[in-house]
Each structure stands twice: as structure tokens, then as C-alpha cells.
Chains A and B, each alone.
Chain A
Amino acid sequence: MPETTFTNATQVLEAFKGIKKVTIEEYFTSGHRTCQGCESALVMKLMVKAAGPRTIVLGSTGCMYVANTTYYTTPWVVPWMHTQLGSSGAAALGTAAGLKALMRKGKMKSEPINVIAFCGDGGGADMGLNGISATLTHKEYNSLILLYDNESYANTDIQLSGLTPYGAHTTFSPPGSVKRLIHTRWKKNVAGMLAAGHTECRYVATVCASFAVEMMNKVRRALTIGGPTFIHSLDPCPKGWDYDPMLSHDLGELAIETGIFPLYEVDDGLLKYYGKTKAIVEGRKRKPVREYLLKQGRFAHFTEEDLAYFQAKVDEMWEKWEIPGVVPFKRLEAAKAALEVK
């Protein structure tokens, strides 16, 4: 049986030890037409730079499809293929399964090829969630699903998604004279949900391109560890968030420093906080959320009451959650206390 020569190995991608050690080659180059200050385009560039040339990328519908690939021009140096809006999970699984089948049957030269499927917040956390969930249970297929979260359907005119923050102004949630807030749902906790619910998925992480080396190293870890893996990237979006494009990097930092978006990884079940999130866990004071929110036009209609509500919800995830910033169950002591009250 040719199966015996097939190992299902992954590429071994060691972490870059500092910015000067990052490889110079680019696999996402000119040929796209993303906005000035687009952090998601930076995520694409860093993602595939971290992965290297022996990589196949699948891109589900969204701005990183439409703005990146226009017929007869492409920024992708590695093989790239479109997949449907809710299909990042299936695309990763199908590509990995096809390669595996052909290699184990001796129909294709056996070598580890990275498979990365990306999706936006709408394609990933709304429409494609069931497909991603399924793929994360297929432990025999190596792939990475990267969710680039610019917090709206940014390709179709900025409509709210399940990952749009509470109260944000989008074209589906305009503030009005009678109803100030249309969007009153709290953002889904995607990485925490996927890590907690898929016990054989060996790697789940959150990243922000403001911390580029850390972000690339998490991609490299996800591709090296084997099996299906997931990364959630928070990407400031000048068009959707309504701010000066020069602030993209700063807003990414502020999202971490305010504690709104924690940076962590769950590596073979071990939780590790990163950078400024780690400092928060170790006691550094979080910046007030207003410093982050009021730099963005999408929150310009917020009253003091709205800011206080937002702050209270963020406080809760650090002070009340069983695993701060990750798992939203109430702490055991709180649960016990609640039982005693009854």
C-alpha cells in the first residue's frame, strides 16, 4: 500500500526571533486595491509571509476577496482560490483532504503543503461558523482557518455582523432620532468558543497585526502543530470604523490596551496570554474603553451612558469570567456563593 510512505507531516516553521529575523520574501504583493490603512490587507501579507511558498490559500467572499483579486491581476504569489462566503471551513477541509488522498495513494508527490482558508467576520462568525466548527473536529487534516475581523460586512457597504461591537453605527444600524442604538447585541467570543468546544483542535489564537512578529509566529505555530487550527485577527478598518487611516496601527494597540480584544493562544490545551494582554492579567491597569471608542466615527453617537455600559461589559470579562478574557463562565467562587444564597 502506498499509504505506508505517507506521514501526514506538517512543515516545521520555527518562530521568527525578532523583526530582523523575518524572511524578506513576499507572497502577497502588488495587484490589489484595498483601502489606505487597511489592516486586513496587512494581515494577508503577514499571514502568507509567515507560511512561506509551499502554501495554498483559499479566500472566502468578503473584502479580502473582492478588493484583492480582480480578474487579470492578483497580489497572490502562492496558489489562491476563491471559496463561498460561508465555506472557509469546507475549503480548508476539502483542499487538505484532496492533497492527503492523492499523497497517501501515491498519485501526488508527498510533501507537507500548508493549507490556509481565510474568512471575514461575517463569513466566519455568522454564515460559516458551522463549517469551521466541523473542520476543527477533523483532526487528521492539517489546515489553518484565519478569521480577519474588521467588525462589519465591509465589502458590501458596512453592515453589522455578529462581530460588530455593541452600539456601532453601520448602514444596517444607523443612529436615529428616536432609536439611538439599533445594534444592541454583544460581540461573539469566537476564539474562546472554538477553543472550548473543539477539544482535539490543537491550536487556537487571537492576533492583531499591530503586533506583527507575534502575529506571524502564531501563524507559523498553527501550521506546524498539525490538524485543523484557528486564528482570530482583529483588524481596524478605516472605512467601516470611520477614522483617519493613519490611526490603524494605534487603534489595534488600543483594542488590546483597553482589554476589549485579548491576545492569547490555546496551544494543546495550554492557555498563554501575550504582550499587553499578559500585562493586564498580571495587574496592569486597562485603559478606559472611551479612549478607543471615541477615536472612531462609528461610536460618535455614544452617550456617557453607552460608554459606561460598554466599560462595564469589558470590566466583567476581566473581573468575573472564569478565565479572564477567554471563557465567560462565572468564576467558581461566584457560582458557589450564588448557590449559598439560595
Chain B
Amino acid sequence: MAVATKTAPAVAEDRELLISGSEAVAEALALADIDVVTAYPIRPYDTVMQAIAKKIANGQLVAEYIVAEGEHSQFEVVKHASTVGARVFCGSSGVGWAYAMECLVVTPPLRVPMVAMVGNRALDDPGAFGVEHNDALFVRDLGWMLVWIDSSQEALDTTLIGYRLAEDRRVFLPLAISADGAFLTHSQALTLVPPKAKVERFLPPYNRGDLLLHPDNPITVAPQANEDWVIEIRRQNNEAMARAVIVIEEAYADFRTIFGRGPENPWFEEYMTDDAEIILVGMGTISLPIKVGIRNMRAQGKKVGLVRLRWFRPFPTDRLVAALSKASVIGVIDRDYSFGSPFGSGVVANEIRAAMYNAPKRPPLVSFICGLGGREVTLEDVYKVTDLCYNAAKTGKSDTKTHWLGVRE
């Protein structure tokens, strides 16, 4: 695994393409030479399958491309292909991801290193195409690694990193890459596409080792275990997730060495947090209006910063606590909901509350829910968030209420 020690050779330069987040994932999949991919239509993730289909049709990728008859089969087909040694890709959105739920459950304990893309979408009913993060969050407790991205470049890079991470024998867990529906899946940006030679140096072939299902290795996989062994198997998953923390650090470091880009801190992006009094936290493309808002507020002398959380599982508890403890107030903006939860907050706010519990310095935390169903998060919303955080700074107390923004009352 010591790929980082190799020096970057003089190879063809990166190509720069104007592509969407979904197309960027497809570029990465061709570079990763995936073997089996299964598609089923649901907006907005399906744009990645359309892009892969074109690549296969044009000979840029040789892979079995199977259009399944539903998401349940879609995820089962690639699960089984992975157990015989194939590198696989799958994905879905909203209720499609929910329809596959049984298959999402079995993938981590089977130690299938699948990479999937979730084009985040509101759940039915009523039907809505827009972004909410509840779909991907379904699997937050199950052994799936979860990462949120906010640009086409990050989509491409994270897909390559994703295979390196998931297929590392210390991990062998599936990864879901979340891309906000429409805002990222369908929005184009200039993206650097690396040459295959660089990718081959970063990403070793998938080796299933002694877990390979093959007549030369006649193993029995997933026999009925019951109370005799189930808790030990759960513990193994838990330890794999813990080891993923180390492997993520390694993978990003090697990525930076070989490709010459990528963040120093894999876990979250810090934007103007060095001197920030108020630190806002969010996941995905909500970062864009928040960053604009921060720049405008800084021009008025308000010291506001952003922590954009990339990795939700494994959750970067220590690093995040260290980063957030510096603030006078933390404002967490969820693009999801968790009805009946503590304080009625979204999932991210309550994760952060839990992470901060043992922290020596716990700034007041204000929780927000906004942008559900793909509703635009406006600069006015960002200013309102900041104002409410400054109010909490005056009292020095956490707000026990969760504020819904942009809602018709």
C-alpha cells in the first residue's frame, strides 16, 4: 500500500472538461476500469448511469452494464458480482435507495466494497425531485461509509479515493458518495480528468483474497449464525469502520502526492474559520450560498466561517470537535429531518451535539433545518442563521429550539 513513496512520473497532463457531478463520477469509473454496473432509472442520480452507458457504447469502458428491474435487484446484482472479484458500481436516489434497503443492509456484513452514488433526493410522498439528505442517511448506522461532496472535481476525485478506500482489505466496506440532486448531479463545472497511468499508480486492482467465491476457493458465505456469532460479526464491522479512519488519511495523502491536488484535511473543509466567532456547519452544495453570505458578512465586519462536513461515516469526532471548539457559537444547518429527535433537530446537529458532549469547551449550538425538497437556500437564510447565532453568543446558551428557515408559517 506504500504508493505514496513513488514519485510522480512525467505523464500526460490532466484534461480539463466542462462536466456535471454525475459525469465526473462516470469519468472516474472509466478510469477505475469497473467491471459490472447496474442501472435503474430514478432522478437525479440516473444521470450517472446515462453517462456510463455512453462510455460503454463508445468503447471508453468495458464492463457488464445491466439494467435491472428495480433497485432491489440492482444492488443485489452488483453485490454478487463483487463477491466473485468484480469491481462494481451502483447508485440511486430517494425512494429508490429505500426500495433497495434490504440489499443495502447486507452489503457491509458481507464485506462487499461497493461504491455507490446517491443523488440526494426528497423521499415520497409527495413526489419531489429536489435534494434532501434523508435518503443516504438511512444507512448511517449499518456499516456504509458516507461522504458528501460539493463539486464535480470532488465527485471525480472522491470516486477514485472511494475504490482505494473501500477495497482496502483493512476496510472492505461499501461507500456511498452523496451528491445533491440537481445542484451537483446536473450542474456543470470545469473538472480536471487525470490520465489513466496516474490512476493505475493510485488504485491497485481489487483483490478479494480468501473471501473470493470461486470453485478454487470453495467457501460458504453467510451461513445462519444466530446468537452464537452475530455480535462478533457486528464487532468486526465496527472495527473495520474504525480502521477506515486511518485508511482515509492514507488515501488522501497518496492522492495529493500522485495527482497534485486534494485537501489536507479529508474530513471537512474549513472556510474562513481561523478567526471566526460564528462557525456554520453543513453538508453538500449548501456550501455555495453560505460561502457567498460569509464573504458579504465579513465585508460588514462579522467574523463568520464555515465547516463543510465531507465524511459523515466514519464521523471525524476529534478533529471536528477541535475545529468547532474555537467558535463562540456553532450553527448547524441540516438539509434533512429527524422527526421526534432531541430538540427536533436534524441528524447532523444531533451528531455534533453528541460529539461535543465530552469536549472541554462546548460553545452554544443553534440548529437549523432548511432547503428541504430542493428549496433554494438564499443569502437571506444565511444572514438569518448568523443573526440567530449572534443572539446565542450574547446569552452564551444553546438554543433548545430548532429553527426552520424559508418555511411558509
A residues engaging B (CB < 8 A)? Answer: 1, 3, 53-56, 58, 65-66, 69-74, 76-84, 86-87, 89-91, 93-95, 97-102, 104-105, 107-108, 113, 130-131, 133-134, 138
Contacts and interface: CB of A to CB of B under 8 A. Distances in A.
Nearest to B88: A98
A34 B84 CA distance: 28
B64 A97 contact: yes
Say what secondary structure dominates the interface of chain A: mixed
B79 A79 contact: no
Given A89-B73, A95-B81, A105 B62 contact: yes
Given A78-B218, A79-B217, A98-B81, A104 B103 contact: no
Given A82-B221, A84-B106, 14 more contacts: A71-B226, A72-B229, A79-B213, A79-B214, A82-B222, A94-B36, A94-B38, A94-B78, A94-B79, A95-B213, A97-B77, A102-B35, A105-B62, A107-B85
B72 A90 contact: yes
Contact of B213 (A3, A53, A56, A104): A56
A326 to B, nearest CB: 25
Nearest to B217: A79
Contact of B69 (A53, A65, A66, A131): A131
B77 A94 contact: yes
B124 interface: no
B62 A81 contact: no
A87 B84 contact: no
Contacts of B214: 56, 79, 113
B30 to A, nearest CB: 13
28 contacts: A55-B215, A56-B84, A56-B213, A69-B220, A72-B228, A77-B218, A81-B213, A82-B221, A82-B223, A83-B80, A87-B73, A87-B103, A90-B76, A94-B38, A94-B77, A95-B80, A95-B81, A97-B77, A97-B81, A98-B81, A98-B84, A98-B86, A101-B63, A101-B81, A105-B33, A105-B35, A130-B69, A138-B66
Contact of A74 (B77, B80, B102, B223): B223
B322 to A, nearest CB: 42
Contacts of A138: 66
B220 A98 contact: no
Interface centre among A72, A97, A113 (most CB of B within 10 A): A97
Interface residues of B, number: 44
A65 B220 CA distance: 11
Contact of B35 (A65, A71, A101): A101
A97 B215 contact: no
A84 B107 CA distance: 11
- Which 10 residue pairs of A and B lie closest in terms of their CB atoms, listed nearest first? A94-B80, A98-B81, A69-B223, A90-B76, A94-B77, A98-B86, A74-B220, A82-B222, A134-B69, A101-B35
A100 B64 contact: yes
Interface of B: 33, 35-36, 38, 62-64, 66, 68-70, 72-73, 76-86, 88, 102-103, 106, 205, 213-215, 217-226, 228-229
A65 B223 CA distance: 7
B36 to A, nearest CB: 5
Contacts of A95: 80-81, 83-84, 213
Given A94-B80, A134-B69, A54 B220 contact: no
A69 B73 contact: no
Query: Which among A90, A94, A101 has the greatest number of chain B C-beta atoms within 10 A?
Result: A94
B215 A54 contact: yes
A155 to B, nearest CB: 10
Given A74-B223, A98-B81, A99-B84, A133 B69 contact: yes
A98 B35 contact: yes
A102 B66 contact: no
A57 to B, nearest CB: 9
Contacts of B103: 84, 87
Contacts of A54: 215
A67 B214 CA distance: 23
Contacts of A69: 220, 223-224
A134 to B, nearest CB: 4
Contact of B72 (A79, A86, A105, A107): A86
Nearest to B222: A82
Contacts of B36: 94, 97-98, 101
B292 to A, nearest CB: 45
B215 A56 contact: yes
Given A56-B213, A131-B69, A102 B85 contact: yes
Given A56-B213, A98-B84, A98-B85, A91 B218 contact: no
Contacts of B73: 87, 89-90, 93, 130-131, 134
B65 to A, nearest CB: 9
A26 to B, nearest CB: 13
The interface centre, meaning the residue of A1, A55, A74 with most chain B CB atoms within 10 A of its CB, is: A74
Q: In this complex, which of B103, B205, B224 has the most chain A Cβ atoms within 10 angstroms of its Cβ? A: B224
